[in-house]
């Protein structure tokens, strides 16, 4: 009998735990249909909003590669080893009215695939908070299986949007609560890694009634400066603003953020993002406690929606379960979270037996020295 790759996450059934994340691969109806045809278990749409969106002139995304004997660069050819992706793309520039009929058609075409709709609005007034509800209602009426709240876009100038919400515990909780008031489907919140303690924001999302936390969005960063031209490798009229770093470079950082949250909330649901291109990468997130994972950069470089990537992920998970069949493992639930408890504070890592290290503190405090060991 073949291993069962299906999973149930926040009461949504997925044919497999591999999703395309909210990004350029999911910006159109045609791309999403091709993604489902390729075998992705779920898709999170490009973020939909109610405010006008206009992207920068020129390229919105580039890929940073390491070249043998040369520089780390976006502009030195495609023969190098992929290091990361860099983008300063905003949310969908298509209005809600454009998306609504397309969401309905996608669900009719693939009724058994999970369609998660990413939404974003402001938080600076009751009107802005009501916009979250308007978006939620419109999308779930078209058959969306779940909603993902974009609390993490790193490119928003507005103080009440994107990652500026994700850095504020009160706003994380409030926005989640507002959407949950009208949602008939599960609500996920996608958080920014650009925060002091992501556990606090995750806790705020769950306090607001959120069903899952998604992490991480891209890391705020700048493109490199070309040593010959002294210009940023990606710019418009010579100017640049911070954008988001994704891809292989952020895998270890994203895992660290995820481990913090899954250890703090072991019974809660998490979807992992960051640097996944093969099953061994996804396995890290599963072993730390994630119930699904999401992919972007690798898919962008594979015919936009990653047909070869999802094929490799499915083959990798099947082989992994077959290899571990002797353990009684039949699906994701049998090994999810298996290594979560191996992540500990630095002072818990073993020192040489004769070390006098006490976690950076004095060996004893108070008036009396501890009794000598015999």
- Name which of 10-24, 46-60, 291-305, 343-357 the model is least confident about: 343-357
How does residue 364 score in pLDDT terms, banded at 50, 70 and 90?
low
Q: At what angle do helices 126-141 and 96-109 cross, to 10 degrees?
A: 30
pLDDT at residue 374 tops 60: no
How does residue 361 score in pLDDT terms, banded at 50, 70 and 90?
confident
Q: What is the mean pLDDT of residues 93-107?
A: 97
pLDDT at residue 3 tops 60: yes
Name the residue with higher pLDDT: 356 or 145.
145
What does the pLDDT look like over 238-255, one tens digit per residue? Answer: 999 999 999 999 999 999
pLDDT at residue 98 tops 80: yes
Q: What is the pLDDT of residue 371?
A: 63
Q: What is the pLDDT of residue 110?
A: 98
Q: What is the 3-state secondary structure (H, E, C) of the chain?
A: CCCCCCEEECCEEECCCEEECCCHHHCCHHHHHHHHHHCCCEEECCCECCCCCCCCCCCCEEEEEECCCCCEECCCCCCCEEEEEEECCCCCCCCHHHHHHHHHHHHHHCCCCEEEEEECCCCCCHHHHHHHHHHHHHHHHCCCCEEEEEECCCCCCCCCCCHHHHCCHHHHHHHHHHHHCCCCCCEEEEECCCCCCHHHHHHHHHHCCCCEEEECCCEEECCCECCCCCCECCCECCECCCEEEECHHHHHHHHHHHHHHHHHCCCCEEEEECCCCCHHHHHHHHHHCCCEEEECHHHHCCCCCCHHHHHHHHHHHHHHHHHCHHHCCCCHHHCCCCCHHHCCCHHHCCCCCCCCCCCCCCCCCCCCCCCCCC
Average pLDDT of the residues of the chain: 95
Contact between 302 and 35 under an 8 Å Cβ cutoff? The reply is no
How does residue 264 score in pLDDT terms, banded at 50, 70 and 90?
very high
Question: Rounded to an integer, what distance in angstroms lies between the CA atom of residue 60 and that of residue 236?
Answer: 10
Which of 87, 13, 101 is CA-nearest to residue 55? 87
Q: What is the pLDDT of residue 360?
A: 73
For the chain, what percent of residues have pLDDT higher than 70? 96
139: annotated active-site residue: no
Q: What is the pLDDT of residue 353?
A: 79
What does the pLDDT look like over 186-224, one tens digit per residue? Answer: 999 999 999 999 999 999 999 999 999 999 999 999 999
pLDDT at residue 47 tops 80: yes
What does the pLDDT look like over 323-350, one tens digit per residue? Answer: 999 999 999 999 999 999 999 999 899 8
How does residue 369 score in pLDDT terms, banded at 50, 70 and 90?
low
Q: What is the pLDDT of residue 71?
A: 87
For the chain, what percent of residues have pLDDT higher than 90? 88
Q: What is the pLDDT of residue 363?
A: 65
Q: Which of 153, 172, 290, 296 is catalytic?
A: 153
């Amino acid at each position: 009998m073949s291993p069962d790759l299906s999973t149930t996450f926040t009461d949504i059934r997925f044919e497999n735990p591999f999703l395309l994340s909210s990004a350029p691969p999911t910006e159109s109806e045609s791309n999403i249909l091709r993604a489902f045809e390729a075998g992705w278990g779920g898709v999170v749409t490009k973020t939909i909003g109610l405010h006008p969106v206009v992207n920068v002139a020129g390229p919105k995304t580039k890929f940073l590669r390491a070249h043998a004997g040369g520089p780390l660069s976006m502009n030195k050819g495609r023969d190098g080893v992929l290091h990361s992706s860099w983008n300063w793309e905003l949310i969908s520039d298509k209005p809600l009215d454009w998306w609504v009929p397309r969401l309905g058609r996608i669900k009719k075409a693939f009724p058994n695939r999970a369609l998660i709709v990413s939404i974003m609005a402001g938080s600076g007034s009751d009107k802005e908070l009501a916009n979250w509800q308007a978006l939620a209602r419109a999308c779930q009426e078209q058959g969306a299986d779940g909603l993902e709240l974009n609390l993490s876009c790193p490119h928003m100038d507005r103080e009440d949007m994107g990652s500026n919400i994700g850095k504020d515990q009160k706003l994380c909780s409030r926005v989640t609560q507002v959407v949950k008031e009208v949602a008939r489907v599960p609500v996920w919140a996608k958080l920014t890694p650009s925060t002091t303690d992501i556990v606090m924001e995750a806790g705020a999302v769950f306090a607001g009634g959120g069903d899952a936390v998604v992490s991480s969005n891209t890391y705020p960063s700048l493109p490199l400066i070309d040593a010959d031209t002294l210009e940023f490798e990606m710019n418009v009229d010579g100017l640049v603003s911070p954008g988001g770093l994704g891809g292989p470079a952020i895998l270890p950082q994203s895992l660290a953020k995820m481990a913090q949250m899954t250890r703090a909330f072991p019974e809660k649901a998490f979807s992992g993002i960051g640097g996944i291109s093969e099953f061994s990468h996804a396995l890290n997130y599963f072993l730390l406690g994630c119930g699904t994972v999401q992919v972007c950069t690798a898919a962008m470089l594979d015919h936009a929606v990653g047909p070869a990537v999802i094929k490799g992920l499915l083959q990798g998970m099947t082989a992994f379960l077959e290899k571990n069949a002797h353990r009684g493992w039949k699906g994701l639930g049998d090994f999810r979270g298996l290594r979560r408890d191996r992540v500990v504070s630095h002072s818990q890592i073993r020192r040489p037996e004769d070390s006098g290290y006490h976690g950076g503190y004095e060996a004893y405090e108070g008036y009396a020295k501890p009794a000598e060991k015999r």
